[in-house]
Chains A and B, each alone.
Chain A
Amino acid sequence: KQEVTQIPAALSVPEGENLVLNCSFTDSAIYNLQWFRQDPGKGLTSLLLIQSSQREQTSGRLNASLDKSSGRSTLYIAASQPGDSATYLCAVGSIFSGGGADGLTFGKGTHLIIQP
């Protein structure tokens, strides 16, 4: 059974800092890994998707890396801003016996606060 762990559970940093959020997973047989942000009382916003054959993806100030063999992914946020404050969730799409992908397995998230 796939298990996803995110470290740290919470992080508070001053505006402008670069920061790294960590995600680890136990089963390397994955299709992809997706990073989301969740604002209080809201749904999930997809930030980046990394396919299992890829090593990293970038979008603006965000960069996500994937090391499938070691079961790790990191989300790097450059020049953090107060608007980045949210909970960041890592989710892994596992191999489905019939092809395609079934449900994502989520970590419990990193609650990020960027201090103005």
Chain B
Amino acid sequence: GAGVSQSPSNKVTEKGKDVELRCDPISGHTALYWYRQSLGQGLEFLIYFQGNSAPDKSGLPSDRFSAERTGGSVSTLTIQRTQQEDSAVYLCASSLGRQGPPGDNEQFFGPGTRLTVL
């Protein structure tokens, strides 16, 4: 079946603009995750959804970042008033989440959205 898809694949924006990044998880996966990979940095966990709810938003870098998930499927990550330090690859992953045993929660990643803030 289809894997995790993300759009757009590349986004160039000007400082101060808002951007929306989209993630479409694997069908049937109830858990969805957003990560950020900055140049020279490791992968940083941002937020996790189980169904439509996000139990912990503390991983979001600032209050300019928000995420939502509706219908237990597609998620959008929104960055308001973008800054140059927001430039990174934003990766989305999905998994079975709490449907399966806690240890068997393999995450599958999408190709990412490369965001460049000029």
Contacts and interface: CB of A to CB of B under 8 A. Distances in A.
B107 A104 contact: yes
Q: In this complex, which of A52, A98, A103 has the most chain B Cβ atoms within 10 angstroms of its Cβ?
A: A103
Interface residues of A, number: 30
B104 A32 contact: yes
Interface in B46-101: 46-48, 50, 55-56, 59, 91, 93, 95, 97-98, 101
B103 A99 contact: no
Nearest to B50: A100
A44 B111 CA distance: 7
Contacts of B112: 42-43
B42 A108 contact: yes
Given A44-B91, A107-B42, A31 B110 contact: no
Interface residues of B, number: 31
Contacts of A101: 95, 97, 102, 105
Contacts of A100: 31, 50, 97-98, 102, 105
Contact of A32 (B31, B50, B103, B110): B103
Contacts of A107: 42
A46 B43 contact: no
B10 to A, nearest CB: 10
A89 B42 CA distance: 9
B103 A42 contact: no
Contacts of A43: 91, 109-112
Contact of B109 (A32, A46, A49, A105): A46
A111 to B, nearest CB: 13
18 contacts: A32-B103, A32-B104, A34-B106, A42-B112, A52-B103, A93-B105, A93-B107, A98-B55, A99-B102, A100-B98, A101-B97, A102-B45, A103-B35, A103-B46, A103-B48, A103-B59, A106-B35, A108-B42
Interface of B: 31, 33, 35, 42-48, 50, 55-56, 59, 91, 93, 95, 97-98, 101-112
Closest 6 CB pairs of A and B: A103-B45, A51-B103, A106-B43, A44-B109, A100-B98, A43-B111
